Amino acid sequence: MNTYFVTLRLADAMPKESLAEIKGKASAMVEAEGGDDVALKRTIARLIEEELNRWHGDCWLRDDEVARTVVAALQAGHGRKYTLRAWSLLPNHLQAVFSVADGVDAGAVVREWRSYTTRQVNILVGREAEELWEKMPYLKACMDDADVVRRVRGVEFRPVNGGLCRRPRDWKWSSARQSTPTQTPGTGPVPSAMPGKGDAPRNTPPAPRPAPGKGPRPIPGATPDMPDEDPFA
């Protein structure tokens, strides 16, 4: 059994100019501190996460119908093709940890998620055949059991780190809501849905824009081989 961590960003979640700036900034920071390649990758990952928290793009995953469609796709193969260990949906990206049997192509699992959800969401929001996700997901094999535990915790805490809730279990679109609650000291109840305009004091994602030529309803592929490292790390 092999376990993997994946991040899938929406196609407009990260402006190209932002990625170039992040890479340059991280290189300068690590060079000034005398760090190595490992430090560089960690710095880039941290800066990318901070940039994602600015909620660029249409944030289609903020809509309940779209989110339900994506969650259903993640859960569809659980117990058959793979074991879904943890997942979180944020307004402009998702993260998951899943295990597959020896010899099973984890990349094929992710490609199936991408292609299916792209078709279904495009139908749902009335778009033509447009790409929903970035073409190069981040797929990483977990090193050992300790790494799996760390990744699961990181995925379920992602909404907390994004400023969307105070406790993992308070986030509506997360496996933490369905598993044993993880308590963080000094926190109180918070809204469980993705916040709308005026609901959150900071990091509030923008409301999705209707598809061109459609009505006022505010909701909102090819899949190449993916590397096992972040292409920008």
* pLDDT 10s digits, 50-81: 888 888 889 999 999 999 999 999 999 999 99
Dihedral, CA atoms, 160, 2, 110, 11, nearest 10 degrees?
A: 40
Between the alpha carbon of residue 42 and those of residues 26, 38, 79, 117, 187, the distances in Å are 9, 6, 32, 30, 28
Q: Is the pLDDT of residue 205 over 70?
A: no
Of 175 and 222, the structure prediction assigns the larger pLDDT to 175
CATH class, 2-12+56-177 region = alpha beta
Q: Is the pLDDT of residue 132 over 90?
A: yes
